[in-house]
Structure 1
Amino acid sequence: MLISPAYAQTTGAAASAGAGGLIGMFAPLALVFVAFYFLVLRPQAKRQKEFQSTINAVKKGDAVVTAGGIVGRVTRVEDAHVEVEIAPNVRVRVVKTTLAEVTNPNAKPAND
């Protein structure tokens, strides 16, 4: 035999080190999860919270874009709906949660 059978046997001290090996195996996984939380989940939750507060603060006269791509100005605000004028004398009611963007109506265009 070229390989000694002693390599296959473990001692009592080596067997108890297996628990430390288990912790060492999961430590990098835990570090990846912590990094993922701080780099992805937390900023996304903050961005979503700011967007939700912007949607809740919609008022008459704001320019909005819906999730469907309709652009218009808010003419009336209700609890769950917003009335948007998309052309002269053409108004549609949309659900507030479908608003994708709220812009400042007094902002100057970039090419002026």
Structure 2
Amino acid sequence: MSQGALAQFLPLILLFVIFWFLIIRPQQKQQKAHKEMLASLKKGDRIVTNGGLIAEVVKPEEDYLKIKLNDDTIVRLDRNYVARKLNEA
């Protein structure tokens, strides 16, 4: 490879590096944090679903969570539909 060819690809390589640090890497960190949060859910934790429902975890299972929506309603929710965990101080 000659110097001219390397000089032509340098802006493209630089663009990819910038793209990696601004978009791909932060998204991977966010996915990792969400996966860790899902793995750490336990009985009594309050969560928000992707549909906006606020519920309490009754029993964590392998792929699902049994959640309590109110005093009378307990349903199963796929873990993939948990948006976040509520932190109540």
Do the two structures share a fold, i.e. TM-score over 0.5? yes
Residue 22 of structure 1, CA deviation: 2.5
Kindly name which structure, 1 or 2, has the bigger radius of gyration based on alpha carbons: 1
1:74 matched residue in structure 2: 57
- Measure, in 1, the Cα distance between the counterparts of 2:6 and 2:21: 22
Listed one character per residue, the Cα deviations across residues 34-92 of structure 1 (whole Å, up to 9, x for unaligned) are: 11112221121111101101011100011111112221111111111101111111111
Paired residue total: 88
Structure with the bigger RCO (C-alpha within 8 Å, sep 6+) is 2
List, as ranges, runs of 4+ consecutive aligned residues in structure 1 with deviation greater than 4 Å. none
Alignment of 1:1-112 (within 5 A): 19-104=2-87, 107-108=88-89
Structure 2 residue runs of 5 or longer lacking an equivalent are none
Residue 30 of structure 1, CA deviation: 0.3
Q: RMSD of the alignment, in Å?
A: 1.2
- Measure, in 2, the Cα distance between the counterparts of 1:54 and 1:21: 49
Structure 1 residue runs of 5 or longer lacking an equivalent are 1-18
Letter in structure 1 aligned against 2:65: V
- Measure, in 1, the Cα distance between the counterparts of 2:28 and 2:60: 26
Q: Calculate the TM-score normalised by the size of structure 2.
A: 0.89
The alignment partner of 1:84 has SS state of strand
% same residue: 34
Letter in structure 2 aligned against 1:25: Q
